[in-house]
Amino acid sequence: MTRPDTTRPDRQDGTGDLSPHLYNTDLAPTTVEGRSWKAYNIFTLWAVDVHSLGNYGFALGLFALGLGAWQILVSLGIGALLLFVLLTVAGYMGYRTGLPFPVMSRISFGVRGAQLPALVRGVVAIAWFGIQTYLATQVLTVMVLAVVPAAESLEQVSFLGLSVLGWICFLALWVIQVGILLYGMDGIRRYEAFAGPVVLVTLAGLAGWMLWQTGGDIALSVPEPLTGGTMWVQILAGASLWTAIYGTFVLNFCDFTRNSTSPSAIRNGSFWGILPNTLFFGVVAVVLAGGQFRIDGQVISSPSDVVNTIPNTPLLLVASAALLVLTVAVNLMANFVAPCYALSNLLPKLLDFRRAGIVSAVIGLVILPWNLYDNPTVIVYFLGVLGALLGPLFGIVMADYWLVRRGRIDVPALYTERPDGAYHYRGGINVRAVAVFVPSAIVAVAAGFVPAMEPIAPFSWFLGAAIGAVLTVLVAPRGTTYRAVSGEGIAVRSAGH
């Protein structure tokens, strides 16, 4: 597993069979030479994503539920260890094949059936892209009002549910993100490399500010913390939910690792970005929650609550700017890359990565995400149900690649519409994979939303993934020999993405 699958084909490389409905230069595999994502680049992905404002809301919620400092760190540590294993398994697939997630899905679901997992992942990402941009807009609005108090008048006039100042800030952030995307994956790599240190230094500084405010005396738990069996259930539930938070990103991690220079880059970048970084995140969360609780007895819901208490305007602006850098970085990696590849996979002849990104951004704008965010039904049921489907998809794709095929993939065949192609199945759809997906998805959704199954709701992602993986192995055809054929003959350089 230390080198990509470069087995030479025992026939022509298949370039003459490439279908324009399945292949373009952004969906093509990446060549082994020229890949540019090193361990530091993988690390910075997690340096920013682990510290997202949503994650802090989750960790602060654990404090509010009754977990103390050490319990929160244990919960996050278990979750980080699980996540590291899953990311390594998923990341190696991208390195070995050089494939983006929608094309990787063709292995299990067929050259046409792959639209299902790709679009599920893409729709979730587009919605959250808009919502995260809106949340960043709120931070930018506070910054503008701090510098230009007269802009308050623009807050009094609204259009389509958002104030005029809100529209100005939203569109400014929207343009910035699209501008970064136009530089392709390399532009995202460079931005994440810049954002990582900014985020880590800022959060460490914010924790230091809180310790200074309290004289080093923080509350390590709420007055009546959980104990005994209830405590351990909540610790394990928190660990499972921490992993499930990344159910979207784990699924399409190959979009990034297809550009990695080596397996050690994936392994080392993920290790340092996930394990120590998550524990650092946990310490910051405990300091912020315990410090504010010691000050006024309130449990904060976000680091921005602490930032807003900074009395010095220049320092407040610097801290707010860092939170903006953080939110944009998270949005790019978690919610922008996936729909770019999903839409390009849907219409390869019309949409390359950059055009698909513009389309995704426009959709993220026209859905008026602030209205979605303020609608609990949309968040809980629409996006929640779609999110519950990601566990079964992960289980199916991973089990099919590693357990059924043992990593032996005919890469050129993923781009042909020939009826005798290895991944054409029946009309381009693998009925076996769909048959596995339906029951595993039903169980995962039921576990997350049926009141009677509430005790296992935090474990729904793992439940769906496990059922999908087991059923995939059980229904796999017996006695089939899978061929490993390199995609180097149809690959493009990583720098071109």
- The model's pLDDT over 39-78, given as tens digits with 9 standing for 90+, comes to 999 999 998 989 888 888 888 888 888 999 999 999 999 9
Rounded CA Rg of the chain: 23
Q: How far apart are CA 374 and CA 388, in angstroms?
A: 21
Residue 212: Cβ-neighbour burial (10 angstroms; 0-12, 13-18, 19+): exposed
Residue 409 pLDDT class (50, 70, 90 cuts): very high
Interhelix angle for 431-449 vs 390-398, to 10°?
A: 140
Do residues 132 and 55 make contact, with C-beta atoms less than 8 angstroms apart? Answer: no
pTM: 0.89
pLDDT of residue 374: 78
Return the residue matching tokens 């389309």: 359
Residue 495 pLDDT class (50, 70, 90 cuts): low
DSSP 332: I
- The model's pLDDT over 111-127, given as tens digits with 9 standing for 90+, comes to 999 999 999 988 888 98
Identity (one letter) of the amino acid at 414? L
- 378 pLDDT above the threshold of 80: no
Give the whole-number percent of the chain exceeding pLDDT 70: 95
pLDDT of residue 5: 45
Do residues 135 and 313 make contact, with C-beta atoms less than 8 angstroms apart? Answer: no
Return the residue matching tokens 């103390």: 68
pLDDT of residue 31: 95
Residue 257 pLDDT class (50, 70, 90 cuts): very high
Judged by average pLDDT, the poorest of 9-23, 112-126, 453-467 is: 9-23
